[in-house]
Amino acid sequence: MYRETTIETGQGPALQASLGGSDGTSLGIVVFAHGSGSSRHSRRNRHVADVLHLAGLRTLLLDLLTPEEEAVDRHTGEHRFDVGMLGGRVVGAIDWLRETETALIGLFGASTGAAAALLAAASRPDDVSAVVSGAAVPIWPGRRCRWFGRRPCSSSEGGTARCSS
Mean pLDDT taken over the chain: 78
pTM of the model: 0.79
| Position 119 in a domain | yes
pLDDT for res 38: 65
> Residue 84: which domain range?
2-128
Structural domain count of the chain: 1
Dist CA 44 CA 84 (whole Å): 25
pLDDT tens track for 112-156: 888 899 999 999 999 999 998 875 444 444 444 444 444 444 444
Most confident of 23-32, 45-54, 63-72: 45-54
Structural domain includes residue 146 = no
